[in-house]
Structure 1
Amino acid sequence: MSAPSESKMFRTMFLSDIHLGTRGCQAELLLDFLRTHDAETIFLVGDIIDGWRLKRSWYWPQAHNDVVQKILRKGRKGSRIIYLPGNHDEFLRDYLGSHFGVVELVDTFVHETADGRRLLVIHGDQFDVVVRHAKWLAFFGDWAYTTALGVNTWLNIARRKLGFPYWSLSAWAKLKVKNAVNFIGSFEQALTQEARRVGADGVVCGHIHHAALHDKFGIRYVNTGDWVESCTAIVEHHDGRMEIVNWTRPSEAPASEPTTEARAAA
């Protein structure tokens, strides 16, 4: 994909579920995105490194190392880097409150947008019943998901040779399964309830690999998506407006919320 020549600077950028250390990670697409997108503050909203997979077998190509170096370079150039570990990189939760060079490690964070909204930032696995109470089932699900991604990889190799863009078989299948759709709805509701409980105006999370930006439950819900299936990020503009960036379909109009002026007129 050809990237635009000019770099875009945002107030805040949210990335999650990169899953470095897995074959399904779309590291090259993420590098392409990071070359042309920057922010004053960058939130890494969990599952950046896949410790589960790396424990079973080591996989760390140069592109994955390049992603780490690119993010660290942004920190050295002045971006604030805030890392909130998820379940796949839960080994980092032993170091919450610490700084690793330019990277701050925290469990949750309340981010204030440019237009004054307070957003709870959290990975979200804390509200996944399977991850919390049946970890063996979560590991089994991870294995099944890895298998689906393997099929997805070969499918997209064929698609590239035929001149078609990246397409996620696993994401398509997930949204076609009724139980998965119901799980997404329950997850969104649980996270918005937690945001309301702590007095926030909304929540930014990851975990379920499904990018979203809406006020369906009477409070702002933002999910960053992932860099395995959908290749999405959330950006906050300098006026507080938030937007989903889908880096597999750059020609499409981005999903965003109304401008400050439009909200005031509504």
Structure 2
Amino acid sequence: MKNTLYRTIWISDLHLGSTQCQADVLLDFLKFNDSEKLYLVGDIIDFWALSKKMYWPRDHNTVIQKVLRKARHGTQIIYIPGNHDDNVREYDNHVFGDITVKKTDIHTTAAGKRFLVVHGDEYDPIAYYHQWIAKLGSQSYDILLDINRYLRWLRRVFGIPQSQFSLAAYVKYKVKNIVQFISDYEENIVNTLRHEGVDGVICGHIHHAEIKDIGGFLYVNTGDFVESCTAIVEHNNGTLELVKWLKAEPAVNFDALDESLEATLHEQ
């Protein structure tokens, strides 16, 4: 597979430091996709998860090294913290290892469209005003993702090709109140920013990737790398595209199944 070069890439909600991060898929995406500018749109490092349990496997460290390597090789990288890494927000406009931290940013596409880039928790009343409820919801969400990890492991065991199915996403889109929350979130952020002199918003936070025109205002959500493994890319002509990344699975080594199962259970 050849590398694809984009003008801009946006990724968010990686949740490094959490068992939910699909670091292998993320590394595969970073390997085959380059850009002039890379936005890290919040919840890159999950300090909520790390405060409960120290979890930092080798591939999470490799992700950081890969991003830093891109910065050294000329990619402009802007890190916009989210609610799971909000302690980084105090370093607004600081530069660390060629990565610039910003609370928000304005990105102008090659077609001249201006987008506010922001994580998005600021426009979620529960996350912004009731953090304890947000953390409780995050714990329930993590349980669903843990179950989904076992489903992915079983698919590898039996040689079943990996798919984009996510139990957490399935439940999220079947529960009426959650579907309404997503709709309300989108409407709230668009109505708040509609008259701010921008053509659209690019955000993350709710783990629901989408490009949607809402009354002439473009709402763009990057998704995540814990369940859907998605990113937003800008082509050289300024058009935006939602990319879903699915890593090809290697052949199953049945001699190592017992060892893999033991390691997976030990992580829990």
Per the TM superposition, whether the score is higher than 0.5 is yes
Range that drifts further, 209-218 or 106-115: 209-218
- Give yes or no for the alignment of 1:247 onto 2:237: no
CA contact under 8 A between 2:11 and 2:224: conserved in structure 1?
Answer: yes
Which of 22, 30, 33 is equivalent to 2:29?
33
Show CA shifts across 1:87-124 (max 9, x none).
Answer: 00001011111111211000111100000000010000
Once residues 135 and 234 of structure 1 are traced to their aligned partners in structure 2, the CA distance between those partners, rounded to angstroms, is 28
Report the AA paired with residue 171 of structure 2: A
Partner of 2:183: 185
- The separation in 2 between residues aligned to 1:157 and 1:145, in whole angstroms, is 19
Is the Cα–Cα contact under 8 Å of residues 16 and 226 in structure 1 kept in the other structure?
yes
How much has 1:197 moved relative to structure 2? 2.8
Pairwise CA distance, 1:136 = 1.0
Contact 1:195 1:201 in 2 (8 A): no
Q: Which whole-Å deviations, capped at 9, do the CAs of 1:162-182 have from their partners, x for residues lacking one?
A: 313142110111011111111
Are 1:221 and 2:234 an aligned pair?
no
Structure 1 stretch displaced more, 155-164 or 35-44: 155-164
Match of 1:165 among 142, 162, 165: 162
Contact 2:28-2:247 at 8 Å conserved across structures: no
Gaps in structure 2 of 5+ consecutive residues: 249-268
Q: Distance in 1 between matches of 2:129 and 2:116?
A: 24
What secondary structure is seen at the aligned counterpart in 2 of 1:24?
A: coil
TM-score (normalised: structure 2):
0.89
- In structure 1, the residue matched to 2:259 is none
The one-letter amino acid of 2:23's match is: A
CA contact (8 A) 1:120 1:202 kept: yes
CA distance in 2, matches of 1:230, 1:200: 28
Distance 1:94 1:143 in 2: 26
Conserved 8 A contact 1:192-1:217: no
Conservation of the 8 A alpha-carbon contact between 1:46 and 1:207: yes
From 65, 79, 87, give the equivalent of 2:83: 87
Q: In the alignment, which residue of structure 1 is the partner of 2:111? A: 115
Identity of aligned residues (%): 48
Q: Residues 228 and 196 from structure 1, CA distance in 2 versus in 1: closer, same or farther, beyond 3 angstroms? A: same
The structural deviation recorded for 1:249 is 7.9
Runs of 4+ aligned structure 1 residues displaced above 3 Å come to none
Query: Could you tell me how far apart the structure 1 residues matched to 2:23 and 2:198 are?
Result: 33
RMSD: 1.2
SS of corresponding position for 2:214: coil
TM-score (norm: length of structure 1): 0.90
C-alpha distance in 2 between matches for 1:239 and 1:249: 27
Whole-Å separation in 1 of the counterparts to 2:118 and 2:195: 14
- Give the AA of the match of 2:72: R
Match runs of 1:1-266 below 5 Å: 4=1, 6-162=2-158, 163-166=160-163, 167-248=165-246
- CA offset digits 1:121-144 (Å, max 9, x no partner): 000000111111211111111111
What runs of 5+ residues in structure 1 fail to find an aligned partner? 251-266
Contact 1:119–1:195 (CA under 8 A) maintained in structure 2:
no
SS in 2 for 1:197: coil
